Structure 1
Amino acid sequence: MAEFSGPFTGSPIATQLQWSRMARRWGLDGVHAEDPGSTALTVVGNSTSKVTVRPGDAFVAGFYYHLDANKLLDVVTNAGSAARIDYVVLRADMEDGEVTAEYKTGGTIAPTLTQDETGIYEIPLAQCTVAAGSSVVTAVNALDRRWFTDRGAIAGVSGDGRPAAKGQLRVEGASLYLGDGAAWRWLASTGLEEGSYTPVWNAGTTAFHWGTGATNIGRYQVRDGRVYLNIHVVVTGNPVGLPDPIQVTLPPGYPCSPAHRGILHFNLQSVNGEGSAIGSALLFPNETTTKIARLRYSVQVGDTSDAIPKSENVLTNSPYNIRAGDILTIDGSYWLA
């Protein structure tokens, strides 16, 4: 067993292999480009016996490559009876100590990339198809196969004025932005992996539960300033009839925004022959920011076009006398405070 660490004064980076192994930890192999639409190191079929590699920059096996002008590569004549699939590659040659753009022939399938860190190391730029008996690659037969490498995310301070480089990721506080060349566009903000809690129920000042052994679980996830919530209840008892609307707690530590009401959905399914009710689970932040304050369902008042719509609150005994086996589900999302 051998151990190496460096570079230190007593253990410098002394070989290209040591450099390659270290530099490959800094970034992935690939072409440096703002986006796939960039022409950096693209390969163009000229309908001749040569293809053109356009200027650009890349990393190959931890080594830097720069091409400052078009490079022409010869297409090997296809002496076979079937179309041949070739590659244009960037090839790091550890013996010669250089990276070059090369034309690599294949067969009825594309050639295998050689990736030997002590010898030849290749990454693809394009796939070229050459007809039987031909040495010509047309534009449509030079397919882009470039690998790209990233520049990593950068930290930012709001209003710092840094240009929004195209394709650049930026972390600003708890938010992630993407540069599009003109502005930093918000992508996401930090959230919370899925969590669960036991909802607490009440009607007015009276707390109640759904029976011994009842299923009563809340599941939630926080993402981009919103809480995604599901509450699922399977009743095992017969709650006492209470005159006030049913309320239930939101996930602890995640109150709703006091700026506006939020609306989720609920379904109450009776297995005791009373059908089902579908309606809205409402947040009334002027009353409380820690609970769903009402479960309301629509009722029909008259059957004429000028009849006034109306909704009613769900109580423990209205519109159904909630009993064992009934299922209550609340699902939706709300804005965080």
Structure 2
Amino acid sequence: MAARFSDNGVYGTPTDAAVVSAGTGLSVTIRAGVEGSLRGHAWTSGATAVTLPVTANSSGQTRIDRVVLRLDRSAWTVRAAVKQGTPGAGVPALSQSTGDTGTYEIPLAEVTLLSGAGTVTVTRKELYVGTRVRPCTSSTRNPLPVPGEINFETDTGRAVQWTGSSWRSVFDDSGVINVNAPTAAWSNEVDCVLEKRNGNVHLRLGAFKRAGGTLADDIESRLPAIIPAAYRHPTRDQYGLAYITGVNIGRFIVYSNASTRAGQVWLVNKPTISSGDSVLPMSGLSWVVD
């Protein structure tokens, strides 16, 4: 019943000091003050460091042992142990019996022992207890999250993960959003739409027709689309090309939230455009927003 009360592993993150380090000679040391959980059974390394012996290797080949955290159901104890490997055969397999008999192991480290060596090399392999996905709303995220924690916002449908310094989107889907913004000078012949997926905005500008008078080649003009604030890049403008009636090419800018033209789309480099001419922007601009 308790096996899923907590994920299997030690408590902490990879930024903590190693749980296992090389000891003196043929031994490894388990750091003091480490706690963990294995199939619902608590474990602590204790108040002082623990030394575990490593069997000598005179085989003529390199041997790799594992340091494991082991639940032994014959005595219902959880202990750190060295699981000896076979020379030349790589890392020994973990035992993970899930019934009410046998052993269940998770990795803490790998120990490399050259043939005839009097010392060992330890490589970190700790398995850390994870964090569960926490339901919340966009205004009730955990105020004191731990690195790796994921919150699912029931009001937005977003899943966000705490990096240790900020929340980042793991999953979100805005659906299709129409961003037409008609002006007297331009008409929307094909809708402009965007979608936000997993922190990225994907924009497809439609087709525009000049409804006003002739637009001189040295005059910039705002096209009939605007990006809502939540979907603008915070600092970087986006650039694209457009086909213009008469086998001509123009350039447009989608302005960032930091611009005085925030969210607006402007045609900035182009030939003279006559009334009734079409502007067909390239599709597929995208940028990161969170």
TM-score (norm: length of structure 2) = 0.69
Pairing 1:327–2:280 present: yes
- Could you tell me which residue of structure 2 aligns to residue 144 of structure 1? 124
In 1, are the aligned partners of 2:63 and 2:112 still within 8 Å (CA)?
Answer: yes
201, 207, 220: which is aligned to 2:195? 220
98, 104, 111: which is aligned to 1:128? 111
Q: Deviations over 1:169-211 (max 9, x none)?
A: 596988968596xxxx33237984153255547440774526x
Distance (whole Å) between structure 1 residues aligned to residue 192 and residue 147 of structure 2: 42
Distance (whole Å) between structure 1 residues aligned to residue 174 and residue 206 of structure 2: 19
Pairing 1:61–2:44 present: no
Distance (whole Å) between structure 2 residues aligned to residue 334 and residue 58 of structure 1: 38
Displacement of 1:77 after TM fit?
1.7
- Could you tell me which residue of structure 2 aligns to residue 38 of structure 1? 16
Q: Deviations over 1:209-242 (max 9, x none)?
A: 26xxxxx552321777xx835124468xxx5653
CA RMSD across the alignment? 4.5
Change (3 A) 1:262 1:121: closer
Distance (whole Å) between structure 1 residues aligned to residue 222 and residue 79 of structure 2: 73
Alignment of 1:179-190 (within 5 A): 185-188=165-168
In 2, are the aligned partners of 1:203 and 1:242 still within 8 Å (CA)?
Answer: no
Note the residue ranges of structure 1 that are not aligned, 5 or more in a row. 1-18, 211-215, 300-311
Distance (whole Å) between structure 2 residues aligned to residue 256 and residue 96 of structure 1: 57
Task: Provide the identity percentage.
Answer: 16
Pairing 1:74–2:50 present: no
Displacement of 1:151 after TM fit?
4.8
Distance (whole Å) between structure 2 residues aligned to residue 157 and residue 230 of structure 1: 25
SS for the counterpart of 2:166 is: strand
Change (3 A) 1:125 1:270: same
2:251 is aligned with what amino acid? Answer: I
Pairing 1:89–2:64 present: no
In 1, are the aligned partners of 2:188 and 2:224 still within 8 Å (CA)?
Answer: no
Alignment of 1:252-331 (within 5 A): 254=228, 264-270=238-244, 272-274=246-248, 276-281=249-254, 292=264, 295-298=266-269, 317=274, 321-322=277-278, 327-329=280-282, 331=285
TM-score (norm: length of structure 1) = 0.61
Q: Deviations over 1:50-85 (max 9, x none)?
A: 221112111112211112121111111213110100
Change (3 A) 1:172 1:112: closer
Pairing 1:242–2:212 present: yes
- Could you tell me which residue of structure 2 aligns to residue 48 of structure 1? 25
2:70 is aligned with what amino acid? Answer: R
Q: Deviations over 1:245-276 (max 9, x none)?
A: 5643447xx4679xx999543421248432x1
In 2, are the aligned partners of 1:228 and 1:332 still within 8 Å (CA)?
Answer: yes
Distance (whole Å) between structure 2 residues aligned to residue 261 and residue 73 of structure 1: 55
In 2, are the aligned partners of 1:30 and 1:147 still within 8 Å (CA)?
Answer: yes
Q: Rg bigger for which structure?
A: 1
SS for the counterpart of 1:106 is: coil
Q: Deviations over 1:112-137 (max 9, x none)?
A: 00000231101111100111134x33
SS for the counterpart of 1:148 is: coil
2:63 is aligned with what amino acid? Answer: R
In 1, are the aligned partners of 2:186 and 2:223 still within 8 Å (CA)?
Answer: no
Pairing 1:230–2:200 present: no
In 1, are the aligned partners of 2:161 and 2:169 still within 8 Å (CA)?
Answer: no
Note the residue ranges of structure 2 that are not aligned, 5 or more in a row. 216-220
Displacement of 1:105 after TM fit?
0.7
